[in-house]
Amino acid sequence: MPDSSPSSSHPPQVGRRTLLGAAAAATAAPVVLGSASRAAAAPAPRKKPRALPGGGDLGPNVLVFDPSTPGIQARLDEVFRQQESAQFGTGRYALLFKPGTYNGLNAQLGFYTSIAGLGLSPDDTTINGDVTVDAGWFNGNATQNFWRSAENLALVPANGTNRWAVAQAAPFRRMHVRGGLNLAPSGYGWASGGYIADSRIDGQVGPYSQQQWYTRDSAIGSWLNGVWNMVFSGVEGAPAQSFPNPPYTTLATTPVSREKPFLYLQGSEYRVFLPEKRTNARGVTWGNGTPRGTSLPLTQFYVARPGVSAATLNQALEQGLHLLLTPGIYHLSEPLRINRANTVVLGLGYATLIPDGGVTAVKVADVDGVRLAGFLVDAGPVNSPTLLEIGPRGASRDHSANPTTVQDVFIRIGGAGPGKATTSMVVNSRHTIIDHTWVWRADHGDGVGWETNRADYGVVVNGDDVLATGLFVEHFNKYDVQWFGQRGRTIFFQNEKAYDAPNQAAIQNGSTKGYAAYRVGDAVTSHEGWGLGSYCYYNVDPTIVQHHGFAAPVRPDVRFHNLLVVSLGGQGQYECVINDTGSPTSGTSTVPSTVVSYP
């Protein structure tokens, strides 16, 4: 197997969410520049850089299999051994399967590993076997099973049920499970996930110990149970609305959705499929033959390899190429500038962007139809004012017909080493769809501390008409989410307040105890949210009191459905759920306090 950069493996740190599951367990090519003239006269005009080529090899960390490939299981096992516990390592892998049938495989997935089929439909690529995530590396605790994904495959599980015991940043997209799906680890230990979209599970989905989960535009045979917050939108077979007991929030459709771009093979040619936008979506996109959308040949992409400069990536963008980021780590000395409508930036195998010197990693202009998907932004040691900007400040163009989508784009501050960023993600462009993100100020790993990986704000939305489907934002020093745009909507939100606040004074927000996890700006007149949860675990000072998880102006068109706050084992408490409404948490019982409708 082609070797990658050595992975460093950190021992598990039990401090991460050790009490999260207590209640759950009980419940269940470089640029070539022209040479400058050396003549004594005025220098000749600088030549334009040589045009960059599109297409090319996907690199050593994309492993492509077909049914006749020898030793597939051994290669899968080798990658898993390297990645199983390499939570903050440098290895990155994409495991791609050409259309056909594969027998007797068990693809166990570790960190920064993606597995995907290369057909237009999941049913083009069938594995008679399993794609497994379990938590043996962490003594049966699945709450740190981050950064891995499965996409575009049909599975026939060996024992009838596939195990997918994941936490955040682990999407299960465009999958067909011809059987059941178990979302808990062996032994039914603690678990804190997760996200499913555009998938069909013929049998039962069993979350068991999973505290929360979001399923979008899918079809399921049945759903077994719920712990704190289970949210469904556009899901055939979803349980009926019943929050808080069972804690099911069910929307018949998803208002607007557009599935993630994906790599596929047309004959021997790689292409990237771009699914079309749907409104009032329900069920999978691929159930009746060829999915609806368009596609691009790989020759229209600059196929980037780790080590390439930001200047070269920007040259490719300026030249009119899209970007395909192959697995690995990319250091950026300047922002990636996406100025052209309909540009696609697609990462494979958790390709990771690290901004150096305090720059912003990615800046998107106020243009139509940009698609960002499948990569990780890791803050650098010099503070960045922002890490990801969708549209410049003051962006106001109407993008309703062709929005920008941000899908499986994850942001991390600290953990793999020191990192700082004042604000992680800023959304200024109207009609942007944030479809599954985990924006995380690290609570464990290297470079972690109240000031060491300082990050005041997670996601800030200034643009109007923005929709978030599957919003996970955690541990920021101040507000995790601030929403200033009009007519914003969020379907599913999962949050933990920062564990490491040293004392009450450190989080004091004027006269208010603590910063809300999710704040709607005072000038907003229309906003709506469904299935939003915030948890506190103030383990440095368990006497800290958080006034509320949610803050919003009291107006008839600012509406929330099915809110909850949870004190994890009594490590800090909430006085209210939203504003001054909702019962306080108390004791160590890890029982949610809920508000079904607000105002």
* Residue carrying structure tokens 């640029």: 31
- Among residues 487, 463, 380, the alpha carbon closest in space to that of 424 is found at 380
Is 425 within 8 Å of 437 (Cβ atoms)?
A: yes
Beta bridge mates, 558: 527
| Token representation of residue 481 | 């989410």
Q: Is 187 left (phi over 0), alpha (psi -120 to 50) or beta?
A: left
Degrees, nearest 5: CA angle 272-277-282: 110
Q: How crowded is residue 333: how many other Cβ atoms within 10 Å of its Cβ?
A: 11
Is 317 within 8 Å of 325 (Cβ atoms)?
A: no
496: annotated active-site residue: yes
- Among residues 453, 479, 472, 433, the alpha carbon closest in space to that of 378 is found at 453
- Among residues 291, 197, 183, 178, the alpha carbon closest in space to that of 235 is found at 197
Give the start-end residues of each E strand in 98-223: 100-108, 113-117, 125-132, 148-151, 154-155, 161-163, 172-173, 176-177, 180-182, 195-197, 200-206, 212-223
Q: What is the DSSP string of 423-454?
A: EEEEE-STT-EEEEEEEEE-SSSBS-STTTT-
Report the alpha-carbon distance of residue 374 to residue 367 in Å, rounded: 20
Q: How crowded is residue 105: how many other Cβ atoms within 10 Å of its Cβ?
A: 17
| Token representation of residue 482 | 């601030």
Give the start-end residues of each E strand in 414-543: 421-427, 433-441, 457-461, 467-474, 481-483, 488-496, 508-509, 512-513, 518-520, 527-536
**Hey, CA dihedral for 549, 555, 557, 562, is it positive or negative?**
positive
Instruction: Give the phi and the psi of residue 210 in degrees, each rounded to 5.
Output: -65, 125
Distances (CA, A) of 428 to 119, 363, 366, 388: 35, 11, 8, 11
Per the residue annotation, which of 236, 259, 496, 575 is the catalytic one? 496
- Among residues 369, 306, 294, 379, the alpha carbon closest in space to that of 338 is found at 369
- Locate all alpha helices (DSSP H) within 538-595, ordered by sequence: none
Residues 6+ apart with CB under 8 A from 332: 310, 313, 353, 354, 355, 356, 359, 361
Q: How far apart are the first and last CA of the chain?
A: 58
Question: What amino acid positions are annotated as catalytic residues?
Answer: 496
